[in-house]
Structure 1
Amino acid sequence: MLEHLNRALEKVEEDLSAPVDTAEMARIALTSEHHLRRLFSVLAGMPLSEYVRRRRLTLAGADVLEGSDSLLEIAVRHGYGSAEAFARAFRAVHGVGPGEARRSGAVLSSQPRIRFRLTVEGSESMQYRIVDKDAFRLVGRRARVPIVHEGRNPAMEEFTRGLGREVLDRIGELSDQEPRGVLGVTAALSPDREEGSEIDYYQAAATSAPGAEGMETLEVPAGTWAVFPRSVPVAEFPQGLQRMWADAFGEWFPANPAYRAVEGPEILRVARTEDGTGADAELWLPVERV
């Protein structure tokens, strides 16, 4: 899979001034556009769109310092419709505007080309199971919150605290199938999942019930799920839970090319252990067989 992903990235370099053809890149990588974007984001630590922007402005920075062409000519060459748009993008990457960089010989940033390689980081196996599941509903309360990839998410915590014990108990009573209990559900995700971008976050139950007064309902079609169980010590909250996504996309999907991620809600079930020292967690990701 990584070899095909590297071939797809070569398309970016063919014409950095042109819009990224993610459909063609996905075809080369033998996967879907959604899975390509998600996999790149996890492996590279940035969205594909951000990588392309940094590569484009790396080359533009060299042209600015070289000094033979006008800033407008450089802007157009690298895909920007105006000098103003180019200046904003240039400053965001390099920390200075192109005019200032040319006058002062400023130190600029450089984004090297990315190429993925397989490295062995340990011998610990990753547990998973595949579940084919009929259509069901997620019923509960919803809020719009920003994505936080690592560390506490204050907006998510405030929303959950604000529901109160009575509401959470009502949600839990609706649970009548796997995954059981009160679930943390993320939906309406962009493929790139940029830090700070907003998502729909539910505290909800998987149920066959038609709904409940004062609750919102998310219909989930029949499909296949990859389920990743993990025991997480309380001292590793919330990073230990967040790493479940990184491990799934960074390790499991590259090692199991027979499956790829598809759009849909992503479900986290967390059950505290009786002694209170940790939790047994399950991450449910919607997938399809290739």
Structure 2
Amino acid sequence: MDWTTGIQNAINYVEEHLCEEIDYEAVAGQAASSSFYFQKIFHSLCGISLGEYIRCRRLALAGSELKSGRCKVIDVALKYGYESPESFSRAFSKFHGVSPSMAKKESTKLRSFSRISLKLIINGGNSMEYKIIKKEAFDVVEKAEIHSLDNGENTHTIPDFWSRSRKDGTIEELLELASDQKFLFGICYGNGKESPETFEYAIGAVCGEDTMVPEGFRKTTIPACTWAVFECTGAMPEAIQEKWNEIVTTFFPTSGYVPTYEMDIEAYTDGDMSCPDYKSEIWVPVIQKQ
């Protein structure tokens, strides 16, 4: 299955189950992906989180049904997964700008939100530089937090995590513990336990096997694997976010490699992250397409 077909299969699955509780793992399975990576890819490709897409599609369809005048508000609310008319009314009013009862009036204008149809368009001879590197397992000492992919929250909360870590001494302590100070890592683990839209993000550094781990930190072994490594130049966080979009829209659809969906690493060098020539890297564990 090619990249674009897998994502479209997942979108089709969502559309077929809008009136049911949607299992994000089942959605991701349509693209042979993990829930975490599918949501990350979906947001990069479509410019909207999976959760927001589902909410918008349901509310748009609910508006169409109420506009027809043949449905009761309570019936439409329950059909699209709302537990009460009140919660449905709040979400509906926020989306459409009018109440569900007003939606039934002929003169009322409602907001539309069409289903997504993906097409891979390759323009010109765009190329992307990358390296494929095999690395043995290594240990990192790190501090982790739970972040959310919903509405792209992670693009704001992760930079805030880094800012807090500089101010509270976390970065300084990691550098003291590091056995290799070439990089500080930002590691995304696709294992958020709070909800399907959450994931764990850690700030860490390579450490030795015998490193004593202070309270509030942990030691994790990154398994041996093959990495696709992408160099990134530019101020953070915009440069790393733009590089991720490039990886998702250019590298994976055409390279012959797919992610293993275990984790990914952002590798940051020492220097001023706000400089336009700041250097960083993205490491993605990959396997060749079968």
The alignment's C-alpha RMSD in Å is 3.5
Aligned to 2:255: 256
Aligned to 2:78: 76
> Is there any run of 5+ residues in structure 2 with no aligned partner, and where?
none
1:123-179 Cα deviation digits (max 9, x unpaired): 34212223333332211445667744279934422322332885354144x228xxx
Match of 1:149 among 144, 149, 155: 155
**TM (normalized to structure 2)?**
0.78
**TM (normalized to structure 1)?**
0.78
Q: How does 1:118-197 map to 2 (within 5 A)?
A: 118-121=120-123, 123-142=125-144, 147-149=153-155, 153-163=159-169, 166-167=172-173, 169-172=175-178, 174-175=179-180, 180-187=182-189
AA matched with 2:255: N
AA matched with 2:168: G
Percent identity reads 24
Aligned to 1:229: 230
AA matched with 1:9: I
Aligned to 1:208: 208
Aligned to 2:265: 266
- Matched-pair contact (CA < 8 Å) for 2:147–2:158: no
Whole-angstrom CA distance in 2 between matches of 1:162 and 1:108: 48
Whole-angstrom CA distance in 1 between matches of 2:144 and 2:37: 25
Relative distance call for 1:250 and 1:190 in structure 2 (3 A) is: farther
Relative distance call for 1:136 and 1:36 in structure 2 (3 A) is: same
- Matched-pair contact (CA < 8 Å) for 2:140–2:220: yes
Q: In structure 2, the residue corresponding to 1:18 is in which secondary structure?
A: coil
How many residues end up aligned between the 2 structures? Answer: 279
Q: Report the more deviating stretch, 119-128 or 138-147.
A: 138-147
Q: Report the more deviating stretch, 136-145 or 93-102.
A: 136-145
